Amino acid sequence: MTNAVFSHDFEFSDVDIENLKIIHTNNNERHMVPCIEIYTSKLIKDVEVIGHIKSESYYPHHLELQIGNGSDGGWPLCGPLKKSLGYQAVHQWRSQNDREVWLNDIAEAEKSHAAMLERLKHG
């Protein structure tokens, strides 16, 4: 849970541990894999750790600190933590539970981006 999920302060007690699950996503090779990634251990100012869970409860295999693509026994190396950590889960949840509004938000963001590029091009 990060600032990508909530815009207000939250605590570990806000997490529904009983319904927690690892999301799956397509990797660069289009294989469906668990969304598990390796980050550098240095925390940045905008990211707070609010608790720790035992991964064995959610992922039945031993997690190795091995760089890979999620389908080869390793996990993507993502560098330092960012404030947007968790965006994949937000998008996946919205695509399933808030699909129409989510698609409209994407279309609006695409229009806004295209308009910005036009302004920059014609300066």
> Hey, what amino acid is at 22?
I
CA distance 2 to 104: 24
- Cα 64 to chain centroid distance, Å, stands at 20
Q: For residue 5, how many other CB atoms are within 10 A of its CB? A: 14
Q: Taking a C-beta distance cutoff of 8 angstroms, is the pair 54, 92 a contact? A: no
pLDDT in tens, the chain (123 residues): 555 556 677 788 888 888 888 888 888 889 999 888 888 877 777 777 777 788 888 888 888 889 999 999 899 988 887 777 777 778 888 888 889 998 999 999 999 999 999 999 987
Q: Taking a C-beta distance cutoff of 8 angstroms, is the pair 59, 67 a contact? A: no
Q: What is the pTM of this model?
A: 0.64
For the chain, give every domain's residue range.
1-83, 86-123
CA distance 33 to 26: 6
